[in-house]
Structure 1
Amino acid sequence: MLKEIMIARLFGTCRYIGVGELEEVQLFYYFAESENRPEDDPLLLWLTGGPGCSALSGLIYEVGPFTFDLEAPHTYPPKLILNPYSWTKVSSMIFVDSPVGTGFSYSITQQGDSSSDTEASADLYEFMRKWLQIHPKFLKTPLYISGDSYAGIFVPMVAYLISNGNKDGLLPTMNLQGYVVGNPLTHTDSDFNSRVEFAFYKSLLSLELYESARLHCNGDYINVDPENAACVNDLKLIDKCLENVYIVMILEPHCAKLSPEPQRLLKWGSSILRDKDFLNLTHDSRDHIMWCRNYNYLSIYIWANDESVQDALHIRKGTIPEWKRCNDSISYTENVNDTVNYHRELLRRGYRGLVYSGDHDMLVPYLGTLEWINLLNMMVTTAWQPWTVDGQVAGYMVKYNDTVSQLVFSTVKGAGHTAPEYKPKECLAMIRRWLAHFPLSSDD
């Protein structure tokens, strides 16, 4: 009973909202009110990447109000504890399982099982319209669209749809103020080509190999002409150097999966963003001499597939065969590979933007993010400088302004691809200051 009470208190409201002409897509969401002043604090819509990774992953391992007690790994079911660095300390938050087929979301028709970047974004816009109709007390609350990883595609698209809807007089009018993206997939050319440069700067490649590849490949390591033997040979050497590096956090161990596949760092496919969690283990992973971050994810599979947990969350029986943290079997079309223009238009309309990057992520490196930010041609008003937490450097930031627009870019020192998972205290300080319109450089 205690577990059910804790779930109900921490999640607040968990339910489905139907979207589509016949509401064939049933999107499941978790809602947690601000622990501070919900009547005054902003509202954040949080979108997890993948595509196909459950909002529950972002909620539990990144920015939500509770997490698992990883110091008590052998308890069953896994023990929930409060997250002292939850972003609900400063905002109310909606976590949505999107696109369809993600987490507990499902379709009532076979046709509704398929989705794409544009369709998923449209579904999320409709979701927010209906959610605010159900929760009218949040209509005047400042709204921010947020997320990380592949959600770098969704976030600006959803924010743009909301802005257009407001402009066209569609009800309800949403009090959109801006957006937040972390290590966001945004512009595939800069995002993925920057991996080679990042690897060199982190001393993973020699100067000779880096300069040779840059010369022979002409700066393009993704769209490679197979007849360009010099480039192909350089990339083979680069792959050899990096194949045993954990791409999402280069300082942590790279561990074998149940179905090992070549990492092929320089090839792009969205599946790398929803990598398999389970490791090739023959005994209890907790007792294994080498710790791997994937071990942390075992708890969520046990917990989310527990019948009593699903009953407490009001999951509709028979709608999904099994809950997965990241579902790599969804029917999904990636039809948008560049959202820079969405950022440009949102900023031109006066919305605020926060872009942050864990500085040890080689999946979507901060160097590529800075490259597409430079395409916005905004004026730097606060040059690269450190920001601190408890007197210690927590990262580095740049502030851009251009007439009505404002964008802040921040690194999170020592963090990987999902920065709040690695540096929760620092990321809470970052979002607290930004939402309050304080400079990141002002220590708490």
Structure 2
Amino acid sequence: MKTFIFKLTLVLYSLSFNEAIDVRYDGFPTENPQNWGYVDVREGAHMFWWMHFTKANVNNFTERPLILWLQGGPGSSSTGYGNFEILGPIDLAEQTRNFTWVNTHNVLFVDNPVGTGFSYVDDMRYLTTDNKQIAKDLVSLLKGVYNVLPEFKNVPLHIFGESYGGKMAIEFAYELNLEIQQGTIESNLVGVYLGDAWTSPIDYTLSWAPYLLNLGFIDVDGFQKINNMAQRTERVLKQGQYTLATDLWYMTEVILEEEARAIDFYNVQYDIPYRGEISEKAKILGSITPRDSAYELMVNYRRLENSLYDSPVPLSLNTMMRTRVHPALNLTNEVIFGSQQGAVFDTLAGDFMKPVVNVVEKVLNETSVNVVVYNGQLDLICSTPGTVEWINRMNWYGRENYASAPRTGISVNENLEGYLRKFGKFSMYWLNRAGHMAPRDNPRITSIMMRETTNFATVF
């Protein structure tokens, strides 16, 4: 088995950046300088960031936009999942990723909320409990990054959030815009992107039964069982029992998995081992704390890693981050990658099922920030029907014009890759042949989206 080793080489640039580091892997150089560090976003809370400077042929990195990437969960690591499994320069199989966004953009991965990935808290009381606090921490994080890399203050900033990261991203964009207007931070915020985002949790939960019935994964009896639990979740949510709604959301997933006899929540077409009748698994899951089980299902529900690559991966993501990345980046020994992630999910259980559609409306109605929503057609956990449902209910100035705008097809090399409807500052992209991790599943359509919204994109 090939040994996975990080080699550090110091590379100095004539820019006024701090030292940029060229991280090289055994036989697979990333070919782009990097920087990373911690920001103490408040007392007892230490947030980790990792910047990949673009590989584009430019005189100055600041000639290309800055993408800030937020992962979901809550509790999934951006520097881990987002970087190595979705769009960073190296994948988990130790191969150079040819469609990495670093080819054309500067990409800033952030382990958020605190307690996620390499980010950590000195005591569990410093973990975040709601989305607004998460957003304020992210504004503090960005201030710290700008202190290290001041040249990026005027670089166009595009905030991307996947899954629960999208829920965090929209609140972050709103809070950041407020501070820009107040003059407490200098930043060129251009757009916020909600990718298969947990924007309206109940709309997604209610969409699961009809979505799977139409695709043939369940029958009418299964539909009734899943839908009944989803409606029960909706009832307690409307009553303001938010933590109970999170527990019932989890039970909806358990019933769904049993009725479908196993399915990948992130892409319904991914191969997944058939485990037969899994009621015993449901009994086991139901015997332990529901939110702990929900976390395992939401964050660590993984198809076989080998199915994603041409050859077996040498290390799991957690092992690689703990035994290779941690020492290579010379990080503090006070943190173990992902060791606090379960607690992150649990402390947000009361906020997990709350929607942020109202925040999307505020960003559209009160700011000049562009809002881009994109969804993979094969995603189950944040299904396209659920996304369309909350978009159609939004109360914003362009609602009627958006509803009557044409839905245009998007082609790449004469192949239909998706659809777009937009009006003013709001765009919705339907992504064909893509699931929850859309940039990895279909880089062609996401490349077009990047070109249209940031003016730069990898060419295929």
**TM-score, structure 1 length as denominator?**
0.78
User: 1:230 maps to what in 2?
Assistant: none
Residue 32 (structure 2) pairs with residue 28 (structure 1): no
2:414 & 2:372 partners in 1: Cα distance? 22
CA spacing shift, 1:189–1:296, aligned 2, 3 Å: farther
What is the letter of the counterpart of residue 439 of structure 2?
P
1:260 & 1:236 partners in 2: Cα distance? 9
Secondary structure of 2:91's aligned partner: strand
CA spacing shift, 1:420–1:197, aligned 2, 3 Å: same
CA spacing shift, 1:247–1:237, aligned 2, 3 Å: closer
- Asked whether the 8 Å contact 1:252–1:292 carries over to 2, the reply is no
Secondary structure of 1:3's aligned partner: strand
Query: Which of 358, 362, 369 is the equivalent residue of 1:351?
Result: 369
Offset, 1:35: 2.2
Offset, 1:207: 6.6
| Deviations 1:137-193, CA, capped at 9 Å, x for gaps | 1111111111101112100000000111112221x2211111012110011221211
Query: Which of 216, 222, 242 is the equivalent residue of 1:203?
Result: 216
Offset, 1:10: 3.9
Residue 10 (structure 2) pairs with residue 3 (structure 1): no
Offset, 1:276: 4.6
Q: Which runs of 5+ in 1 are unaligned?
A: 70-79, 226-233, 280-284
CA spacing shift, 1:96–1:297, aligned 2, 3 Å: farther
Percent sequence identity over aligned pairs: 20
User: 2:19 maps to what in 1?
Assistant: none
Secondary structure of 1:139's aligned partner: helix
Residue 360 (structure 2) pairs with residue 338 (structure 1): no
Q: Which runs of 5+ in 2 are unaligned?
A: 10-21, 25-30, 237-251
Offset, 1:48: 0.4
What is the letter of the counterpart of residue 347 of structure 2?
Y
Which deviates more from structure 2 when the two are superposed, residues 99-108 or residues 42-51? 99-108
Secondary structure of 1:51's aligned partner: coil
Residue 178 (structure 2) pairs with residue 164 (structure 1): yes
User: 2:299 maps to what in 1?
Assistant: 274
2:416 & 2:387 partners in 1: Cα distance? 21
RMSD: 3.5
Which deviates more from structure 2 when the two are superposed, residues 90-99 or residues 322-331? 322-331
What is the letter of the counterpart of residue 384 of structure 1?
R
1:419 & 1:326 partners in 2: Cα distance? 27
- Larger proportion of helix: 2
What is the letter of the counterpart of residue 47 of structure 1?
L
**TM-score, structure 2 length as denominator?**
0.76
Tell me how many residue pairs correspond in the alignment. Answer: 397
Residue 276 (structure 2) pairs with residue 252 (structure 1): no
2:33 & 2:347 partners in 1: Cα distance? 28
| Deviations 1:242-280, CA, capped at 9 Å, x for gaps | 2422222111233469x955789xx9945532125497x
User: 1:46 maps to what in 2?
Assistant: 69
What is the letter of the counterpart of residue 207 of structure 2?
S
2:33 & 2:129 partners in 1: Cα distance? 27
Residue 165 (structure 2) pairs with residue 138 (structure 1): no
- Asked whether the 8 Å contact 2:41–2:140 carries over to 1, the reply is yes
2:456 & 2:362 partners in 1: Cα distance? 21
- Asked whether the 8 Å contact 1:15–1:29 carries over to 2, the reply is yes
Query: Which of 388, 397, 403 is the equivalent residue of 1:370?
Result: 388
Query: Which of 187, 203, 217 is the equivalent residue of 2:200?
Result: 187
Offset, 1:298: 4.4
2:428 & 2:411 partners in 1: Cα distance? 15
User: 2:18 maps to what in 1?
Assistant: none
CA spacing shift, 1:437–1:113, aligned 2, 3 Å: closer
CA spacing shift, 1:101–1:407, aligned 2, 3 Å: same
